[in-house]
Structure 1
Amino acid sequence: MSDQHPLHGANFPSARDDLRDESNRPAAYKLAYTDQDFLLRDELRGLRFQLELQKPEVTLQEHGIESTVVIFGSARFPSPEAAQKDIEQAQASGDPARVRAAKRAHRNSLYYQESQELARLITEHSLECPSEEQLYVMTGGGPGIMEGANRGAKEAGGKSIGLNIVLPHEQEPNPYISPEFCFRFHYFGIRKMHFMLRAKAIVVFPGGFGTMDELYEALTLIQTGKSRRVPIILVGHDFWQKAINLEFLRDEGVISPEDVELVRTVNTAEQAWQFIADYYKLSPRACPRC
């Protein structure tokens, strides 16, 4: 018997109250929201868009998460410890090509380490700072740079968010994402919208097509005024100097001179975090090592 006062409560049963075992019912008789075959029809794509937008949104709102630092970067960069093992195995194989690839991966594992350190700095600040300065690390939820960032947040004692995507070759979420904030998407577009909805800074480590897509999506939204301006920070001078040339685009007249100033390039996690802290005038403890 319910203890609820008779003046309170809904007059109508909820959808959950009406839920029954529908496994043996004819398709036409099933409640629409329990009929998977119906929900997966091409005509229902718009509804599935809305569901992918709403599910993470409702969860993040319920937990009071308003501000994030989004960290993008390659899924292919290993942790330093994994890279060291790969070098040892490559050297034992005697295959020169494998040794070269292992050494390259070991060199790039520095970025994994920097993403881990950046997430640690963000999370330590957020665990100690006033509530209005709380920031949560958000990544694409996969391996590589994403794993490093989620790992750094977890090792600092905080929570972080991962937005995983269904791919032809299944990508599993990394084990460091907070389970209650580990989301999976079918649609790239909705996933990218969630990256931008709460982003107060975007930090981009070296990466390939996916990373470039995410970077240019953010730049386009800010350039066109569809999104408020937030810091966009590229980590790794040497990589980004070769990978993109905004000055060339400016000189060719395809972007405005001020568009070049939308990004800041740094080399370390500490520099990236200090830029964010300065941009928002965060409390002095925002940079524990400074």
Structure 2
Amino acid sequence: MTESRSKVRRAGPLTYRGGAIPTTTTDQRLLDRRGPTDWVHTDPWRVLRIQSEFVEGFGLLSEVGQSVSVFGSARIRPGNPHYAVGEAVGRRLAEAGYNVITGGGPGLMEAANKGAQEAGGTSIGLGIELPFEQMLNDYVDVGVTFRYFFVRKTMFVKYSQAFVVLPGGFGTMDELFEAITLVQTGKVTRFPVVLVGSEFWGGLCDWIRRTLLLEGVISHDDPGLMHLTDDPDEVVEIIRKSHVDLARQEFEADQVEATAADIEAAERSGNGT
């Protein structure tokens, strides 16, 4: 073995030998401000950014309590009937004791945040970095802006007990169908998804029943994963009823499990084991 191949340097978990040994140490490279900055755009560095966004999001939302995510178009402005409905939905949710989480942008997100804030509730905005400027709206009490859509989506799902979907475009439908898919596949505990606006969403609901269901590409019960209403008060009632039903199901499941455990214990006792 040549002398160069016999040289070894260990840098943390890494081992270098021979000509592969760096000419500088890790500390030297960390503290040296000279050289290219392309490393901040590499995938390993992005992993750290992604991790930091999860940490910030979890830290912000972990203690907010019961919350409902409200989605809707950023393009609908005050004066539009949908905006008034968005305000009413945010207000009713806050009055019922729910925090309101939106994407933090303008339009119907702003409407829901406004309704919640004016009713004395906690209004939360989860913004996203976009190619065009978009600030968190003025009715957000607590907010954070994410770089990555998938991190933001995780926050919506993890910290919400229900989804309310106001009229909207591709982004709104993306959130809608992701939520339904997660519930359908059992990836999340079943929670209500409420569509607000029968005239706006009615055609989509009909297509799901008449095409997807009839073609056999969804199950018979899948259309029931969505509730359709025009009434903000009914939105709250649907969510409350769903939570009561879920609590009852969990209680009954616990009772069955406890009974089975008692029977097993009794059988062991009777057998002298």
Under a length normalisation based on structure 2, what TM-score does the superposition of the two structures give?
Answer: 0.73
Secondary structure of the equivalent of 1:137? strand
Equivalent residue, structure 2, for 1:58: 59
Q: Which residue of 2 aligns with 1:186?
A: 147
Aligned-pair CA distance for 1:274? 1.7
* Structure-1 separation of matches of 2:226 and 2:100: 19
Query: Which letter maps to 2:31?
Result: Y
- Secondary structure of 2:186's partner? coil
Q: Does 1:147 align with 2:115?
A: no
1:138 partner SS: strand
1:278 correspondence with 2:249: no
Shift of 1:112: 1.3
State the superposition RMSD in angstroms: 2.2
C-alpha change, 1:78 and 1:194, in structure 2 (3 Å) is same
Aligned length: 214
1:137 aligned partner: 100
> Over alpha carbons, which structure has the higher Rg?
2
Q: Distance in 2 between matches of 1:43 and 1:253?
A: 43
SS across alignment from 2:121: coil
- Percent same amino acid at aligned positions? 41
Equivalence for 1:217: 178
Amino acid at match of 1:246: I
For the Cα contact (< 8 Å) 2:90–2:116, is it kept in 1? yes
Equivalent residue number for residue 122 of structure 1: 93
In structure 1, distance between residues paired with 2:127 and 2:74 = 12
Following the alignment from structure 2 to structure 1, what is the Cα–Cα distance between the partners of residues 214 and 32? Answer: 61
In structure 1, what is the Cα distance between the partners aligned to 2:242 and 2:187? 20
> CA shift at 1:30, angstroms?
6.5
Match of 2:77 in 1: 78
TM-score by length of 1: 0.69
In 1: Cα distance, 2:194 partner to 2:138 partner: 26
CA displacement, residues 184-233 of structure 1 (integer Å, 9 cap, x when unaligned): 01101111110000111101011100001000110111111111110100
Whole-angstrom CA distance in 2 between matches of 1:30 and 1:67 = 47
Q: Does 1:45 align with 2:46?
A: yes
> Is 1:200 matched with 2:201?
no
Deviations 1:209-268 (A, max 9, x none): 000100011011111111111010001111112235211211111111111110010012
Q: What is the distance in 2 between the residues matched to 1:125 and 1:113?
A: 18
> 1:199 aligns to what SS in structure 2?
coil
Aligned-residue offset at 1:280: 2.6
Question: 1:185 and 1:75 mapped to 2: Cα distance?
Answer: 17
Residue of structure 2 aligned with 1:237, choices 187, 198, 203: 198
Larger relative contact order, structure 1 or 2 (CA cutoff 8 Å, min sep 6): 1
Quote the Cα distance in structure 2 between the aligned partners of 1:279 and 1:213: 23
Assess, with a 3 A threshold, how the Cα gap between structure 1 residues 241 and 30 changes in structure 2: closer, same or farther. Answer: farther
Q: Which runs of 4+ in 1 moved over 6 A?
A: none
